A and B are shown apart, each in its own frame.
Chain A
């Protein structure tokens, strides 16, 4: 029920967000290509939220060893990698249009790429054949250590300077009120979609674990 409501809200909100991107939000001084921002930002933020969820779920798992937290971490990591990939692709497309390069080795982009590789590695680890409890434990440790890179991505522009704007919205950033509406519509729409997909995936992983437990039981 929760999933269906979230999915319905996501579908409606995404349609509204698309309408706002194409017809509602004004064209910025830098031109039409700036509208990529309204897709790039939600992907980027929800990937960071996903990795924060991986971190929190991993910490809780280490304390109480309940498999549900391992599943939440696994599902959130998948979503994080999907959204981080989309953030990298949209960012790269925007960079090509704006700066003339698909990629720049600047601190923000480099730390984001490192983060992507670390969590992709985490997913590879999750798919390796290993005892269930041992794998959950190793993944929980990696889920905590991997999170060290996330604040670096967020604050890279502040810390080292970057061609990319910093992760903290500022007053006087030159954004009109309709631009802010579109930003919040995007974050909300992607939030609903993220929530629905996370719940579905956690549920799937629970079914998979139950099935595997049943098969092991049968083999005995």
Chain B
């Protein structure tokens, strides 16, 4: 492999890692949002 390929691999690995963690955080946010909505629905059911 050439030096450019190694440089490209290392660079890509960093961006993939950062992107992976951002996706993880986004999925956590979506999960929290879903749970809040479920709680709101439960609250409405109890009120009704």
A binds B: yes
A199 CB, nearest partner CB in chain B, Å: 11
Contacts of A214 in B (CB 8 A): 39
Q: Are A89 and B6 in contact (CB under 8 A)?
A: no
B44 CB, nearest partner CB in chain A, Å: 14
Q: Are B32 and A208 in contact (CB under 8 A)?
A: yes
Q: Are A31 and B3 in contact (CB under 8 A)?
A: yes
Q: Which of A32, A97, A211 contacts B36 (CB 8 A)?
A: A211
Q: Are B6 and A96 in contact (CB under 8 A)?
A: yes
A169 CB, nearest partner CB in chain B, Å: 21
In the complex, the chain B residue whose C-beta lies closest to that of A39 is B14
A125–B7 Cα gap in the complex (Å)? 35
Q: Are A86 and B17 in contact (CB under 8 A)?
A: yes
Contacts of A218 in B (CB 8 A): 39, 42
Contacts of A204 in B (CB 8 A): 25, 28-29, 32
Q: Which of A35, A93, A193 contacts B9 (CB 8 A)?
A: A93
A94–B39 Cα gap in the complex (Å)? 50
**Which positions 179-220 of chain A face chain B at CB distance < 8 Å?**
193, 197, 200-201, 204, 207-208, 211, 214-215, 218
A94–B1 Cα gap in the complex (Å)? 12
* Interface class of chain B by DSSP: helix
In the complex, the chain B residue whose C-beta lies closest to that of A79 is B21
Q: Which of A90, A207, A215 contacts B32 (CB 8 A)?
A: A207
A36–B12 Cα gap in the complex (Å)? 11
Interface string of B12-48 (1 = CB under 8 A from A): 0110011001100100110010011001001000000
Q: Are A82 and B39 in contact (CB under 8 A)?
A: no
Contacts of A89 in B (CB 8 A): 10, 13-14, 17
Q: Are A36 and B6 in contact (CB under 8 A)?
A: yes
B24 CB, nearest partner CB in chain A, Å: 9
A94–B17 Cα gap in the complex (Å)? 17
Q: Are B32 and A85 in contact (CB under 8 A)?
A: no
Q: Are A90 and B25 in contact (CB under 8 A)?
A: no
A79–B25 Cα gap in the complex (Å)? 11
The answer to whether A33 and B21 touch (CB under 8 A), given A39-B14, A97-B1, A211-B32, is no
- 5 A-B pairs with least C-beta separation: A32-B3, A97-B6, A33-B3, A36-B10, A90-B10
